[in-house]
Amino acid sequence: MLVDAVLIQKRELENRLKENYVERKISLPLDLGNDQIKVITGPRRSGKSFYAIHLLQQTGSYGYVNFDDERLAGIENYDEVINALNTVYDNPRYLLFDEVQNLPRWELFVNRLQRQGFRLLITGSNANLLSSELATHLTGRHTSLVLFPFTFSEYLSIFSNQQTMLEKKASLDIYAEQGGYPEPLLKKIDRRDYLRTLIQSTLYKDIIRRFKIRSVQGIDDLALYLMSNIAREYSFNSLSEVTKCRSVHTIDKYIRYLQEAFLLFSLNRFSFKLKDQKGSNKKIYSTDNGMAVSAGFRFSADRGALYENLVAIALKKEEIAGRISFFYWKSPQNEEVDFVVKEGLRISQLIQVCSDISNPKTLKREIRALVNASLELHCEELLLLNDRANRTETFKWQNATRQIRIIPIWQWLEGYV
């Protein structure tokens, strides 16, 4: 019976509210004071529902349904959901629908409830709920928020709000390996087992079951291979050679599915010509470092790749919010700059990530790439993120003089709440 399922979910919710809660540092928090539909999306288990629940506690009266529940899979009459909520929660005005993408034609239901005067907050775990898609789904006004696992700043707040620079550097190395998923950090559970199970759950629920994929081994191999090779270039042809997916069209489709499920995201190579961008190799990143490490990435082998992945995540959130777009740059001589940041039509920043610049040869290589990219892209805001150095230096290369800000990665990450 639907009422029983909603009642059991309410009890589960009450138990969760007794758990420790780390306040999320949101740059533009959701405002419950208007009738816009509030949408929170992002990876599974990143804390979306917990954040939403703590928001709704401010209202005093709300109802909650989690549609990631097999007991609700066969609902045909959606009015029964409202009847059950009215019975269990005593006619709530505010409604939280968790993992709403599992409800067929959810957008029609949500639109109707808004017209009827309900205040709605919905969460979901796939890219159909991103702002770029919501305009086609929701006819009424809406506002959206993408919630990833804990940022570095939120991670620090779990343990202490005040740390020395050396302590923050040490915390960064731990965070770069463990990632920011809330439950393994706040509870005494095995992180690797938790994240491996989460990967498989996301693959099955958000991809295999949703898109009716028959070659389960193929997409599983592809996901684990990409997670084990973060911050590296890939092409569809190269991936078809190292996985059981022989078709480049299948590879392309599977990568889109992995991105929709917030497991991974790709980065295009920068070019002023859109055709060249699409034809070039892309780079792959994971939405959480801990997930990449659990999938098989070796932290000790390449700390720089994990640092780069942290920066990519921060920039990706800015891109999703519509504030920037970003790319990587590579010269014909294979010099590379990790991130080219665009604001509108203007290239605003070039960012290089290097775990250790104590070797003069390494420093020279990273700076040379930055300066050459600066000349080609007409950008003079140059950043070199590293493990500890903090200074601004002026460098000359091929008759060009550029100032480069050298910043510790932990300091840069703290600025991205």
DSSP readout, 136-173?
HH-SS-EEEEE-PSPPHHHHHHHH-S---HHHHHHHHH
Q: What average pLDDT is seen over the chain?
A: 90
Q: Please choose, from the candidates 59, 60, 43, 289, the residue with its C-alpha nearest in 3D space to the C-alpha of residue 178.
A: 289
24 and 162 part of one domain? no
Q: Model pTM? A: 0.92
Q: What is the pLDDT of residue 417?
A: 59
256 and 116 part of one domain? no
327 and 372 part of one domain? yes
Q: What is the pLDDT of residue 321?
A: 86
Q: What is the pLDDT of residue 61?
A: 85
Q: Which of 129, 146, 163 is the last residue of a domain?
A: 146
Q: Residue 415 contacts by C-beta under 8 Å, 6 or more apart in sequence?
A: none
| Cβ density class 358-395: b for 16+ within 10 Å, e for less | eeeeebebbbbbbbbbbeebebeebbbbbbbbeeeeeb
- Does residue 132 have a pLDDT over 70? no
CATH at residue 83: 3.40.50.300
Q: Which of 104, 124, 146 is the last residue of a domain?
A: 146
pLDDT band at 58 (very low <50, low <70, confident <90, very high): confident
357 and 261 part of one domain? yes
Q: Which of 124, 146, 168 is the last residue of a domain?
A: 146
Instruction: Pick 199 or 297 by higher pLDDT.
Output: 199
> Using one digit for the tens of pLDDT, what is the confidence trace for 254-270?
999 999 999 999 999 99
Q: How many domains does the chain have?
A: 2
pLDDT band at 314 (very low <50, low <70, confident <90, very high): very high
116 and 164 part of one domain? no
Percent of the chain with pLDDT over 70: 95
Q: Which range marks the domain in which residue 123 is found?
A: 2-146
> Using one digit for the tens of pLDDT, what is the confidence trace for 316-361?
999 988 899 999 999 999 999 999 999 999 999 999 999 999 999 9
Three-point CA angle 191, 195, 199, nearest 5°: 175
| Mean pLDDT value across residues 147-151 | 96
> Given the DSSP bridges, would you call strands 382-386 and 37-41 parallel, antiparallel or unpaired?
unpaired
134 and 27 part of one domain? yes
Q: What is the pLDDT of residue 300?
A: 60
328 and 188 part of one domain? yes
Q: Please choose, from the candidates 233, 254, 256, the residue with its C-alpha nearest in 3D space to the C-alpha of residue 245.
A: 254
Percent of the chain with pLDDT over 90: 66
298 and 192 part of one domain? yes
- Does residue 310 have a pLDDT over 80? yes
Please give the Cα distance from 271 to 15 (Å, whole number): 52
| Mean pLDDT value across residues 126-145 | 72
Query: For residue 218, which amino acid is it?
Result: G
258 and 362 part of one domain? yes
187 and 232 part of one domain? yes
Instruction: Pick 415 or 39 by higher pLDDT.
Output: 39
284 and 399 part of one domain? yes
177 and 113 part of one domain? no
pLDDT band at 196 (very low <50, low <70, confident <90, very high): very high
